[in-house]
Amino acid sequence: MTKKNIHVTHRRDKSWAVKGEGDKRASSLHKTQSAAIKAATPLAKANKSEVVIHDRKNKIRDKDSYGKDPHPPVDKKH
C-alpha cells in the first residue's frame, strides 16, 4: 500500500470532503469539518500517512501524522 495523505477540504456547497491525495472523487462528504476529520483519521491510520486539514479557503491549516517518522516534530497543540 502506498502512503497517500488524506485531505479534508471545504467545498462550494458548504460541505466538507474527505479525499485521498491524487483521487478525483471524495471518499465522503460531511456537514462539519470535525465530522470530516473524524472520518479521515482511520483512513490515514490505515495508510500510515497524514490527515491534511484545510480551512474554508482551502489553505492548509494543520496536519496530523499517523505514519512512522524518524524525526517527529514536537507537537505544540496536545
Closest CA to 4 of 18, 16, 21, 17: 21
As a whole number, mean pLDDT of residues 63-68 equals 85
> Does residue 35 form part of some domain?
yes
β-bridge partners, 51: 6, 64
> Does residue 50 form part of some domain?
yes
Which position has the grid cell 462539519?
A: 32
Instruction: Quote the number of domains for the chain.
Output: 1
* pTM recorded for the entire structure: 0.84
> Does residue 15 form part of some domain?
yes
pLDDT recorded at residue 1? 46
pLDDT recorded at residue 73? 63
- Per-residue pLDDT band at 67 (split at 50, 70, 90): confident
